Chains A and B, each alone.
Chain A
Amino acid sequence: DAGVIQSPRHEVTEMGQEVTLRCKPISGHDYLFWYRQTMMRGLELLIYFNNNVPIDDSGMPEDRFSAKMPNASFSTLKIQPSEPRDSAVYFCASSWTSGGATDTQYFGPGTRLTVL
């Protein structure tokens, strides 16, 4: 399997612009997670989906952030409008949970976002 795929790997944009980050989870996985990593705040869970349905978006910092999962093989995280404080590395992860048992999360390589 190719693992979790994220695109783009690097994104540089100007304040006020819309940014869309993309993620393709591992085939067959039923959970998808979006994280943000910064030096100051560490690794933060933004939102996660189960079977394409958003379960908990309490980590989304503000209304400028939105996430969708239109099907089992694709998810987007959108920031509109972007601000310099959104600069971070954004990770997507997926996992497969069977019968309520916790399983491993597999992380993508991340998207490094820089907002000027």
Chain B
Amino acid sequence: GDSVTQMEGPVTLSEEAFLTINCTYTATGYPSLFWYVQYPGEGLQLLLKATKADDKGSNKGFEATYRKETTSFHLEKGSVQVSDSAVYFCALSWGGYSTLTFGKGTMLLVSP
């Protein structure tokens, strides 16, 4: 079945550091890929998405590129802020059905 694998956390960075959170997926075909973010005490919210190979999703300085050759969708940000501290979830979905398959989440902690 479909699955999403994320790097284990927590990821601890200093403000203005470069961020990479790895995500790989297993699926037959070409699903849509998502990154969701969950701030403390809140529900998940969409950060960015890509619906086909080589698409780049971007939002709030974050970006991720859909790489079908490596079945990856790594999340990057050039300079993190304390306010980026949250849990980040990678997910995939199929057209026609809106169910999401989530990874286990990666906690990011950014210190001043």
Query: Chain A residues in contact with chain B, CB under 8 A?
Result: 4, 31, 33, 42-43, 45, 48, 56, 91, 93, 95, 97, 100-110
Is B49 a contact of A91 with CB atoms below 8 Å? no
Contact A105 B98 (CB under 8 A): yes
- Shortest C-beta distance, B109 to chain A (Å), equals 16
Q: Give chain B's interface residues, CB within 8 Å of chain A.
A: 32, 34, 36, 41-46, 49, 51, 89, 93-100, 102-105
Is A104 a contact partner of B96 (Cβ separation < 8 A)?
no
Given contacts A42-B102, A43-B105, A45-B100, contact A101 B44 (CB under 8 A): no
The main secondary structure of chain B at its interface with chain A is strand
State in angstroms the CA–CA spacing of A42 and B97 once bound together.
22
Please name all residues of chain A whose beta carbon is closer than 8 Å to the beta carbon of B34 when the two chains form the complex.
104
Inter-chain contacts of B41 with A (CB < 8 A)? 109
Indicate if the CB atoms of B98 and A91 lie closer than 8 Å. no
A-B contact pairs, 5 of them (CB 8 A): A42-B102, A45-B100, A97-B98, A105-B100, A109-B41
- Identify B42's interface contact among A97, A104, A109, CB under 8 A: A109
For B96, the closest partner residue in chain A by CB is A100
- Say how far A55's CB is from chain B's closest CB, in angstroms: 8
CA A106 to CA B96, docked complex, whole Å: 17
Give the CA-CA distance A42 to B105 in the complex, in Å: 8
Contacts of B46 in A (CB 8 A): 104-106
Give, as a whole number of angstroms, the nearest-CB distance from A72 to chain B. 16
A91 to B102, Cβ gap below 8 A?
A: no
The 10 A-B residue pairs whose C-beta atoms are closest, nearest first, are A107-B43, A100-B96, A107-B44, A42-B104, A102-B93, A43-B102, A102-B32, A104-B46, A95-B98, A31-B98
Name the CB-closest residue of B to A100.
B96
